[in-house]
Homo-oligomer: A and B are copies of this chain.
Amino acid sequence: MKKKSFPQSEVYRLLEPGPVVLVTTVRAGRGNVMPMSWHLMMEFVPPLVGCVISNRNYTFETLKRTGECVINIPAVELAEKVVACGNASGRWVDKFKAFGLTPVAAACVKAPLIAECYASMECKVVDRKLVSKYNFFVLKVVQAWIDPTRKRPRTIHHQGEGEFMVAGRIIHLPSPKTSLAG
């Protein structure tokens, strides 16, 4: 595998811009993949990530039962596979096989990383207080990975109704803070 361990303190830089991610889980020995856009950072170190997953989704039940997942970040080259994953259910389809994604064993959780994604975060559920009311899970990133050969991955950002914004140019502005949330 090309991915290298990525520092926990830098995880927010991957998720704060709001990319579509692919959430992997495993149940009865079979992996599943679900695209997700409803996520936010909640803490720098250890990195906490909040996310809403519809309770109509197979991933919702799996995450509730197993308490583990991997958040993978695809670049624009995978956009069609991302949409395909969103239009099928893991109840009926092995999405790894159906859409040509490659599962890779994680270090700390049973859910697999996706080889084709440039970054992956192994996560454990740490707070379920808002699950029943909002389908909102709090996850802790226990191990993060990145493909260091991908210099400028173009993430995709969902705008609804099949419309995605592709990450554009980078600008730098002086800021003493690590995050605008501060």
If A17-B37, A87-B175 are given as contacts, then 8 extra A-B residue pairs at C-beta distance below 8 Å, sorted by A number, are A17-B159, A18-B19, A39-B40, A50-B52, A53-B181, A80-B173, A129-B130, A165-B168
Contact B158 A164 (CB under 8 A): no
Taking CB atoms and an 8 Å cut-off, the chain A residues in 106-152 that contact chain B are 127, 129-130, 133-134, 136, 138
Contacts of A19 in B (CB 8 A): 18
Contact A18 B157 (CB under 8 A): yes
Can you name 18 A-B pairs with beta carbons within 8 Å? A13-B160, A16-B38, A16-B157, A17-B18, A17-B158, A18-B18, A18-B37, A42-B52, A42-B136, A50-B134, A54-B181, A54-B182, A76-B171, A157-B157, A162-B175, A163-B171, A164-B170, A167-B168
Provide the bound-state CA to CA distance between A173 and B143, in Å.
32
Q: Tell me, yes or no, whether A2 is within 8 Å of chain B by CB.
A: no
Contact A36 B180 (CB under 8 A): yes
CB-CB nearest 7 A-B residue pairs: A18-B18, A168-B168, A17-B157, A40-B40, A13-B160, A38-B181, A162-B175
Contacts of A155 in B (CB 8 A): 165
- Within the complex, the shortest CB–CB distance from A9 to chain B, in Å, comes to 10
The secondary-structure label for the interface of chain A is mixed
Contacts of A165 in B (CB 8 A): 17, 155, 167-170
Residue with the highest number of chain B CB atoms closer than 10 Å, among A10, A19, A38, A80? A38
Contact A37 B169 (CB under 8 A): no
- Within the complex, the shortest CB–CB distance from A123 to chain B, in Å, comes to 15
Contacts of A61 in B (CB 8 A): none
A37 contact from B16, B50, B166, Cβ within 8 A? B16
- Within the complex, the shortest CB–CB distance from A95 to chain B, in Å, comes to 14
